[in-house]
Amino acid sequence: MFFIRIMNDMKMKKKLAITFISAAVLPLMLSGLFLTAKLRAIVIQDAFLQVSGNVERVRKRTEELMKVPLDISYRLTTDNKMKLVAGRQYNSNLEVIQAYRGYTDIRDYLQLYKEISGIRVYTVNPGALNNWEFIQPDDDILSQDWYKEAIARKGLAGWNLIKDERVNEEYLSLIRSFSLDPPGRTGVLVINVDKHRLSSILDQESFQTFIVDDRNRIVASNDAALFGKNLFEIHTDENVLSQQTGSYDGIVNGHASKVVIANLNPENSWNGLRIISIFTVSDITRDANQVIRLGIIVISASLIFAVLLIYASASLLSRRLYRLSNHMSKVGSGSLETYLHIDGKDEIGLLSRRFNSLVRSISQLIQEVQETNRQKSLVEQRQNEIKFKMLASQINPHFLFNALESIRMESHIRKQDDIAHAVWLLSSLLRSSLEAGNGKITLRKELERVRCYLEIQKFRYEDRLEYRFKVEPHLEELPIPPLIIQPLVENAIIHGLDNRAEGAYIEVEVMSVSEGIRIKVSDNGAGFPAGRLSLMQEELSASVDEQEGQRIGLRNVNDRLVLLYGTTSCLQIESEPGNGTSVTFFIPGGVSRC
């Protein structure tokens, strides 16, 4: 009963799809997966056996090639004549040349054995010369790890990728130290393995194969571009970097791969080489995959034909329901302009017509709400614009009268012509104030206006007034409302200097902070009592609508900041009796907004 209820709740297309998948698709898929897995396993196993045989063959041929430099190294390190030429003390260059010319064994070995491409003998002998056979090691060579290791191994052979100074190329080289007379002196013999002979061993390999030294540097490869590179550079698996022998599954260059490694340790050597062969599973199974793909295409074509027949049969029954469902989805995503037309007078046709009527009603309601919100937003915008223009247009002129009175009194007392300078400052200040509109001005112009005002006040108070500007240079072109800093400076003088016999110090600081731009005006005046400070903060926090027509100064500045930037930019007053006052506000982001 439970199964029947579930089937009855399903849509027609889903019922047909489940039946078809259960009867045809699943059996075909399971059979195909089983046969594919078997075929891939057989192909990979055959490739693995082939690669293992190839790696063993490469190991044997490489071992035969390395026997030649090993044999030559035994002969040379036991050759007393070579040791005499390398270690004797020479009195002149002529003696060195004659000794080198008389010793021909190294040249004979190079001509006789094509498996090697160079022989070098390094000995510290101040009287000797360098002829690319006998070489005086410089500090760079003496500091090389291979040279130090050869000395430390005391006669054992080593194999490393070393640069030949004569041709400036790297070779797989045999390294071996030998003793010189007097006892305690040591030389190092280096024999280069011929690159072409070594590479020819790998040329016939169909899979990626290379030979690496104990530092994981590639000394030979069937891909010439890999010579000299480290295994780290070709994105190999960790097993390839660390394991000495065996076979592993790994990821190489992002591909699933099989890795076969054989170890080669030549006789009497402190280190050896590794032969590594890598083949990707995708390359090995390419042919098998083609057969599999062909089978999949044939089966898929048959399944598609059957699916199309089932789909056509189900569509005759469910097409009209799907149209209604799709229309509902469009309306749900916000598209209210679509119209659904379904023929017929049955329940589906009736449902579609009623649904269209409901959509039209919702669309009309949304348009009415949007129009109401638009009008409300426009009214609020106009109100804020009117409030801002009224606030921005208020300019307190009483500081100009105070300045004129100061100039008049000073002129009467001192009778000096330099009062003309104060008059000029005042006229500049008056001109800039009259030119200020409701737009923005740069911080530099606002600070020039403040500086004029302070110079006029300094003319009045002389040494009793000192001021300082601390402004980050890149902020001078910052757009700000006009007359936004000057009222704060004026307030600092009125409530600071006038109540302080020893004078006042005023500082204007503009700097970047995380919130945007911080502007701070501070003084060392008498400060405000706690009660007066609380009253001022309450007045500043009151609504703009509650502002009186004659209120100016701090309230005017605060209200304009709130209208322009929001409540986060309102004035912040800090004051202690006897310790001065600081007024701070922020411009968010450093860019004013309209």
pLDDT(382) > 60: no
Which has more pLDDT, 311 or 551?
Answer: 311
- Tell me if 158 is assigned to some domain: yes
Q: Which domain holds residue 472?
A: 393-588
Type of residue numbered 252: V
| Residue 577 structure tokens | 């009796």
**Other Cβ atoms closer than 10 A to 60:** 14
Separation CA 69–CA 106 (nearest Å): 12
Residues 398 and 531 in one domain: yes
* Helix-helix angle 398-414:443-461, to 10 degrees: 40
Question: Is position 537 within any domain?
Answer: yes
594 assigned to some structural domain: no
Residue 328: inside a domain: no
| Sequence-distant contacts of 220-225: CB under 8 A, at least 24 apart | 220/172, 220/195, 224/199
Helices (H), 336-494: 347-392, 398-414, 419-435, 443-461, 486-492
Residue 299 lies in a domain: no
Task: Specify the range with the lowest mean pLDDT, choosing from 362-371, 419-428, 477-486, 521-530.
Answer: 419-428
Beta bridge partners of 572: 584
User: Last residue of some domain: 284, 307, 342?
Assistant: 284
- Would you say residue 247 lies in a domain? yes
User: Are 259 and 237 within 8 A, CB to CB?
Assistant: yes
Tokens of 58: 């490469």
Determine the pLDDT at residue 379. 44
Q: Measured on CA atoms in the order 536, 537, 539, 545, is the torsion positive or negative? A: positive
| Three-state helix/strand/coil letters over 370-412 | HHHHHHHHHHHHHHHHHHHHHHHCCCCCHHHHHHHHHHHHHHH
> Is residue 250 one of the residues assigned to a domain?
yes
pTM of the model: 0.46
Q: Which of 253, 284, 315 is the last residue of a domain?
A: 284
Q: In which band, very low, low, confident or very high, does the pLDDT at 594 lie, cut at 50, 70 and 90? A: very low
Q: How do residues 159-195 score in pLDDT, each as one tens digit? A: 999 999 888 899 999 999 999 887 778 999 999 999 9
Per-residue pLDDT band at 148 (split at 50, 70, 90): very high
CA–CA gap between residue 401 and residue 388 (Å, rounded) = 26
For CA atoms 325, 330, 336, 342, give the dihedral sign: negative
Q: Average pLDDT of 377-404?
A: 52
What DSSP string describes 309-332?
Answer: HHHHHHHHHHHHHHHHHHHHHHHH
CA-based end-to-end distance of the chain: 69
Domains: count for the chain: 2
Name residue 520's beta-bridge partners: 509, 584
pLDDT digits (tens, 9 = 90+) for 224-243: 888 888 888 876 667 677 77
Where does residue 430 rank: exposed (0-12), middle (13-18), buried (19+ CB within 10 A)? Answer: middle
pLDDT at 67 over 90: yes
- Gap between the Cα atoms of 122 and 141, Å rounded: 9
The dihedrals phi and psi of 340, each to the nearest 5 degrees, come to -105, 130
Under 8 Å between Cβ of 258 and 249: yes
Domain at 57, CATH number: 3.30.450.20
Taking the C-alpha atoms of residue 266 and residue 456, their distance in angstroms, rounded to an integer, is 97
Asked if 397 and 280 sit in the same domain, the reply is no
Q: Is residue 325 part of a domain?
A: no
Q: Is the pLDDT of residue 202 over 80?
A: yes
Which residue, chain included where needed, has tokens 């100061």?
A: 406
Domain boundary among 284, 310, 345: 284
Q: From CA 325, how far away is CA 319, in angstroms rounded?
A: 10
pLDDT in tens, 321-365: 667 667 777 776 666 666 666 666 666 677 777 777 777 787 788
Are 233 and 243 in contact, with CB atoms under 8 Å apart? no
**Which H or E element spans position 504?**
strand 504-513
Compute the distance between CA of residue 482 and CA of residue 439 in angstroms, rounded to an integer.
Answer: 8
CATH code for the domain of 488: 3.30.565.10
447 by DSSP, 3-state: which?
helix
What pLDDT does residue 435 have?
57
Q: Which residue has the tokens 């506000």?
A: 585
